[in-house]
Structure 1
Amino acid sequence: MTEQPMTEQNPPGRVLRDLSHGGTVEPTEIRNRVSRELVDVSTPFDYLFETIRDDPAAHLPADDPAAMVAALDTLGRLMVESQPPAEDPFQSGDGNSTIPAVYTYLGQFIDHDITANTDRQNDIGHVTDADLHPVPPADVIKGIRNLRVPALDLDSVYGDGPTFPDGPQTEAGSLYDGITLKLGRVALEPKPDTAQISGVRIPLQADLERDVPRGVGRKPSEANIGDARNDENLIVSQLHVAFLRFHNKTVDWVRRHEPQHTDDKAVFERARQLVRWHYQWIVINDYLATIALPGVVDQVLGEGNKLYDKRAGEVYMPLEFSVASFRFGHTMVRGAYDFNRNFGRQGHVRPSAPFGLIFLFTGKGGFSGQADTLPFNWVIEWDRFVEKDPRFPDHFSRKIDTRLAFALGEMANEIPNPAPGPDITAILKQLAVRNLRRGYQLSIPTGQAVAKVLDLVELTPEELTQGNSDELNTHLATSGFLDRTPLWYYVLKEAEVQANGNSLGELGSRIVVETLVGQVRHDPGSFLAQSPSWVPENGVLLPDGRPVLTIKDFLRFAGVLPTRP
């Protein structure tokens, strides 16, 4: 049975052109720079665990905020590993997981698709505030709004859709070429005597469109993209490119295989529906099945959501998810990547792609002011991110645990220009410090409090200190964090203790799976809402007739997964 195309239109103004991680933009500037329509369609944040929301015993102590912030800062710094040896930038000791590296950045892409605003200056404040303190939960709910719709609907890709001749001008119109999404070109075409990606039987048309129409107030080097955060690094930006290409190939597929969609508008809506449904299927049945404990996804799909439901008739974004649990992906980030045959593991002959370098050719990179397209030798080779080849353990993500790669403690790309004072700079460059501060400021409950609500056995002090340095364990004990553990840290330690870092633990799995499946369920345009029996076999198919079941299949259909000779 062929599903009918969606007829509802996206809410207007869903393009986020000016947001970046850790920004220190004043609230009035955000409202001025983000369209009025976007503010109008913003959605609520709320707390998943209402019964402990206002219980002081369920939170970190608030009687001495300055001391608690100092303790959190120290914890964040102690979570960052030392710099790996220069002779082996891939070294991760026993820190490699069994999760291919692509899932780290698929998680980042998902986050950008459903959440925006918790990390930015807003009516609540910023993580760099000198008097940072816990904000009463009721004030948090009133003070921040989600600038994304919490649904896996790819508004980060589609915005409010293309402009049709019989319809209004859309804010996202510049993203489109008719009903297909624009793609840019690769600069500096390879010459025979240069290192190049050879044997890749796909067009190397892999950069975001950067030739922005005049009059939209953008720099030539900034990507014309539905969410500026997806131009943060070369991995997530080229994953975004894969979504652009997947949509364009789906448009072609609909025209060939579903001729009942006769006009451009019908073809676009059907293609967008198929892309969204494949994406939702992959998030639930591939991504969540990979990063959660076995059985949790099937349980939530089979028995229904027990934690997450609409709140006051609205779909909302749980703060325990967005500010704590879903930030587990930060520990999966590698300090260096085997990016392609030009920048990767080649017997140490060729340079690797260290984490800082993958920011170079993006909207925040230093190179972007000199060229507006991607050099050919920085086209990603996705097989190095999706294959489960035990010969290359550094093709996998780092473990989900309480240790972060050294690069995440030196994030110079998060420092604005002109640079703030040294105290603020020290906070912004430390990802773990920012996460812990924000959790405290937004009154996120402790791991122990959440475990009690879920009727789970709490991690013991012995488990919370397992495998840690003596310095970290001393700090955990003297700060009181063994009794009241920040939820983000608790989720990471639980994964380390219960799953050896190869998936989330019980608490983390429940929050993440419940939230994402619940939000798909409550999206009226999703496959779970419109056609629960839909399976990828009823969607687009690979050239050999196989369905698109995984992110690897998705990249192959998009035409960006290299086929080696």
Structure 2
Amino acid sequence: MAEQGQFPRVITNLAHGGHAILDSAGQDEQMSPRSAVVQESAGTAAHMGTTSFDYLFPGLADEFPAHHLPQDDVEKVVIALLELGTVMVETQEELRDPQLNSPIPPIYTYWGQFVDHDLTAATDNDKAISITDENLPPIAPDEVIHKLENLRIPALNLDSVYGDGPFAAPVANKDAVPYDGIKFRLGLLSPVPAAAGVLIPPVDDTQRDLPRKADRTPLVGDTRNDENLVVAQLHVAFLRFHNAAVDWVRDNEPEWESDAEVFLRARNLTRWTYQWLCVHDYLRTVARPDVVDRVDTAEGNLLALDRRGTYMPVEFSVAAFRFGHTMVRGAYDWNRNFGRPGDKIAPIATLDQLFQFTGRGGFVGSLPTLPSNWPVEWDRMVDKNSQFANRFARLIDTRLAPPLGEMINEGNDPGLPERIKDLLKHLARRNLLRGYRLAAPTGQAVARELGVVPLSRAELEQGSSDVVRNVLETGGLFDRTPLWFYVLKEAEVRELGRRLGEVGSRIVAETLIGQIRNDPGSYVNQTSWSPARGVLLPSGRPVRTISDFLRFAGVL
């Protein structure tokens, strides 16, 4: 599953949060992992293919609409969802005490975004199932499954990083991930005048941008990883981790002799480390550790392939895994130029700036690559014991930072009606409408299916404004609550916003661990692989945390 040659590994021009609708999808026979590796090594480029979306809880989908949002008055529900989305985004005046942050460092927000891009890819070709139509009734689950297609293999296999690999023959007029031999090519920083800020240590390390074309387009496996500077810098770390793994294999494992052998070994070690960290660091930080342990040690898994084959759960993609949106800060302690009060240029780097200082954002000032005063200082983004409040993600709750209500890189097509522009710029409204359109079950239905006591009305009202209470009441959403909002509210009231609650933890853990189990090339399907059998830090320690990962990559 992790190496199916019919899938595009270099995907460009995707918009955040879109989804692909294809009129017809090919039914090509899936390759075995071995045959795909042979094809890749021989230089055969990937071609178009898709995998399916489906429902993690098929029994709920089969009884549509009994376990879904109200269907009797679609217009009323849509109005309620739009109003609910509006009030979920805080205004500047409503910003809470800055001390009310989660205990989770910001790196976990964007590690989650990177994972999302590795699992799912889509386009804005959503005419068949659109959230911008005037009439927005839910689509029946069978129709969603038939029409909604995923351009990524739903496996944590880093195809968004590796593209077609270093041995693929060039294809005319097709962008490719650039390699220097079996290592990734990196982009160089653009020097800026001293008045614009100091260089970020190590000052002689200029290879800290994504590789780019002359028009600033990133030459990476998924251009969504250049939509904000945090995920772009994380993608750079993955490129550098692989390059360091190549050196490590050559220095420590002489049994791998040819370039092809060294590349494949380094890629496996990079993938397995990433997958292991997703379970043992990422999941155990953002979700309830007891739930993760239960899912990780269970014999079965909700994501059983059985009759459905390889698929991505709707409940995960359009609801539960969007919990990371509430963790996004409006500003970050980014580096010594744009971080703490007293730093050289400004006390904060705003989220808007982190969108502007990407290729898509134009690097403000028309530089061809990332300015030398803007690389991240990862130590400010990974410390779980930091004394600084703005070195943590926001709480996992039902409130989003103000910039997510006016996303500067979205909805800018001058040909769009103002109503559509406003919707595309507003993340919470988009999330709620998409969940409704794609027939995500209610939070209460999923809780009951999992044997979890659903949130009570009192819990749904707890900490909610009068406006939110009124919207839930008038929209009939107290007993049938949108799954995305429910997962956030569960985290807010049952875990104090410090991590996902039981329902959110189950959906996310079952999906990520299930995809790893279902991938025959993953670390769990090797013979007793653990980080102790992977690359080692200069001290001899294994890579067991995301901080270790960044350290081995040479960026921390």
Taking structure 1 as the reference length, what is the TM-score of the superposition?
Answer: 0.89
Matches within 5 A, 1:418-497: 418-497=414-493
Instruction: Give the match for residue 179 of structure 2.
Output: 176
**Quick check: 1:79–1:404 contact (8 Å CA) kept in 2?**
yes
Instruction: Give the match for residue 95 of structure 1.
Output: 100
Instruction: Give the match for residue 137 of structure 1.
Output: 141
Name which of 503, 520, 523 aligns with 2:519.
523
SS in 1 for 2:264: helix
SS in 1 for 2:432: helix
How far apart, in 2, do the equivalents of 1:374 and 1:482 lie? Answer: 47
Question: How far apart are residue 199 of structure 1 and its match?
Answer: 4.9
Name the stretch that deviates more: 127-136 or 151-160.
127-136
How far apart, in 2, do the equivalents of 1:452 and 1:269 lie? Answer: 44
How far apart, in 2, do the equivalents of 1:369 and 1:149 lie? Answer: 37
Is 1:59 equivalent to 2:62 in the alignment?
no
How far apart, in 1, do the equivalents of 2:456 and 2:306 lie? Answer: 33
Instruction: Give the match for residue 217 of structure 1.
Output: none
Decide whether aligned partners of structure 1 residues 322 and 236 sit closer, same or farther in structure 2, where only a CA change above 3 A counts.
same
Is 1:386 equivalent to 2:379 in the alignment?
no
What letter corresponds to residue 55 of structure 2 in structure 1?
Answer: Y
How far apart, in 2, do the equivalents of 1:25 and 1:143 lie? Answer: 8
Question: How far apart are residue 248 of structure 1 and its match?
Answer: 0.5
**Quick check: 1:13–1:170 contact (8 Å CA) kept in 2?**
no
Question: How far apart are residue 13 of structure 1 and its match?
Answer: 2.8
How far apart, in 2, do the equivalents of 1:24 and 1:519 lie? Answer: 20
Name the stretch that deviates more: 41-50 or 275-284.
41-50
- Provide Cα deviations, 1:500-535, integer angstroms capped at 9, x if missing partner: 11110000001100110010001011011123x211
How far apart, in 1, do the equivalents of 2:182 and 2:192 lie? Answer: 28
What letter corresponds to residue 104 of structure 2 in structure 1?
Answer: I
Is 1:68 equivalent to 2:74 in the alignment?
no
Instruction: Give the match for residue 412 of structure 2.
Output: 416
SS in 1 for 2:53: strand
Instruction: Give the match for residue 49 of structure 1.
Output: 57
SS in 2 for 1:412: coil
Name the stretch that deviates more: 302-311 or 55-64.
302-311
SS in 2 for 1:187: coil
How far apart, in 1, do the equivalents of 2:332 and 2:442 lie? Answer: 34
**Quick check: 2:291–2:505 contact (8 Å CA) kept in 1?**
yes
Q: Which runs of 5+ in 1 are unaligned?
A: 1-5, 213-219
Decide whether aligned partners of structure 1 residues 286 and 504 sit closer, same or farther in structure 2, where only a CA change above 3 A counts.
same
Is 1:258 equivalent to 2:253 in the alignment?
yes
Instruction: Give the match for residue 499 of structure 1.
Output: 495
SS in 2 for 1:525: coil
Name the stretch that deviates more: 338-347 or 401-410.
338-347
What letter corresponds to residue 210 of structure 1 in structure 2?
Answer: R
Question: How far apart are residue 63 of structure 1 and its match?
Answer: 2.3
Decide whether aligned partners of structure 1 residues 43 and 369 sit closer, same or farther in structure 2, where only a CA change above 3 A counts.
farther
- Provide Cα deviations, 1:421-476, integer angstroms capped at 9, x if missing partner: 21111111110000000000001100011111111101001100111112211221
Question: How far apart are residue 367 of structure 1 and its match?
Answer: 3.3
How far apart, in 2, do the equivalents of 1:123 and 1:309 lie? Answer: 31
What letter corresponds to residue 71 of structure 1 in structure 2?
Answer: A
**Quick check: 1:22–1:414 contact (8 Å CA) kept in 2?**
no
Name the stretch that deviates more: 14-23 or 141-150.
14-23
Instruction: Give the match for residue 150 of structure 1.
Output: 154
Instruction: Give the match for residue 215 of structure 1.
Output: none
What letter corresponds to residue 332 of structure 1 in structure 2?
Answer: M
SS in 2 for 1:97: coil
Is 1:371 equivalent to 2:376 in the alignment?
no
How far apart, in 1, do the equivalents of 2:143 and 2:200 lie? Answer: 56
Instruction: Give the match for residue 211 of structure 1.
Output: 213
Question: How far apart are residue 124 of structure 1 and its match?
Answer: 3.0
Name which of 137, 155, 164 aligns with 1:160.
164
Q: What percentage of aligned pairs have identical amino acids?
A: 53
How far apart, in 2, do the equivalents of 1:405 and 1:104 lie? Answer: 13
Question: How far apart are residue 133 of structure 1 and its match?
Answer: 1.4
Name the stretch that deviates more: 21-30 or 408-417.
21-30
**Quick check: 2:301–2:514 contact (8 Å CA) kept in 1?**
no
Is 1:547 equivalent to 2:542 in the alignment?
yes
What letter corresponds to residue 139 of structure 1 in structure 2?
Answer: E
How far apart, in 2, do the equivalents of 1:450 and 1:342 lie? Answer: 46
Matches within 5 A, 1:235-314: 235-312=230-307, 314=309
**Quick check: 2:10–2:177 contact (8 Å CA) kept in 1?**
no
Taking structure 2 as the reference length, what is the TM-score of the superposition?
Answer: 0.91
How far apart, in 2, do the equivalents of 1:392 and 1:30 lie? Answer: 50
Question: How far apart are residue 232 of structure 1 and its match?
Answer: 0.3
How far apart, in 2, do the equivalents of 1:102 and 1:23 lie? Answer: 23
What letter corresponds to residue 361 of structure 2 in structure 1?
Answer: G
Decide whether aligned partners of structure 1 residues 340 and 156 sit closer, same or farther in structure 2, where only a CA change above 3 A counts.
same
Decide whether aligned partners of structure 1 residues 8 and 134 sit closer, same or farther in structure 2, where only a CA change above 3 A counts.
closer
Name the stretch that deviates more: 474-483 or 326-335.
474-483
**Quick check: 1:204–1:379 contact (8 Å CA) kept in 2?**
no
Decide whether aligned partners of structure 1 residues 11 and 27 sit closer, same or farther in structure 2, where only a CA change above 3 A counts.
closer
Instruction: Give the match for residue 325 of structure 1.
Output: 320
SS in 2 for 1:58: coil
Decide whether aligned partners of structure 1 residues 62 and 499 sit closer, same or farther in structure 2, where only a CA change above 3 A counts.
same
Name the stretch that deviates more: 345-354 or 496-505.
345-354
SS in 2 for 1:414: coil
Decide whether aligned partners of structure 1 residues 169 and 155 sit closer, same or farther in structure 2, where only a CA change above 3 A counts.
farther
Decide whether aligned partners of structure 1 residues 492 and 202 sit closer, same or farther in structure 2, where only a CA change above 3 A counts.
farther
Decide whether aligned partners of structure 1 residues 168 and 15 sit closer, same or farther in structure 2, where only a CA change above 3 A counts.
closer
How far apart, in 2, do the equivalents of 1:42 and 1:157 lie? Answer: 18
How far apart, in 1, do the equivalents of 2:226 and 2:288 lie? Answer: 31
Decide whether aligned partners of structure 1 residues 30 and 398 sit closer, same or farther in structure 2, where only a CA change above 3 A counts.
farther
SS in 1 for 2:393: strand
- Provide Cα deviations, 1:282-326, integer angstroms capped at 9, x if missing partner: 000000010111212221121233422114261210000001000
Name the stretch that deviates more: 514-523 or 387-396.
387-396
How far apart, in 2, do the equivalents of 1:242 and 1:84 lie? Answer: 36
Alignment length (residue pairs): 537
Name the stretch that deviates more: 22-31 or 493-502.
22-31
**Quick check: 1:12–1:170 contact (8 Å CA) kept in 2?**
no
Question: How far apart are residue 344 of structure 1 and its match?
Answer: 1.4
Question: How far apart are residue 84 of structure 1 and its match?
Answer: 5.4
SS in 2 for 1:44: strand
How far apart, in 1, do the equivalents of 2:498 and 2:461 lie? Answer: 19
Name the stretch that deviates more: 342-351 or 11-20.
342-351
How far apart, in 2, do the equivalents of 1:473 and 1:168 lie? Answer: 56
Name the stretch that deviates more: 386-395 or 513-522.
386-395
SS in 2 for 1:45: strand
SS in 1 for 2:104: strand
Name the stretch that deviates more: 511-520 or 408-417.
408-417
Is 1:82 equivalent to 2:95 in the alignment?
no
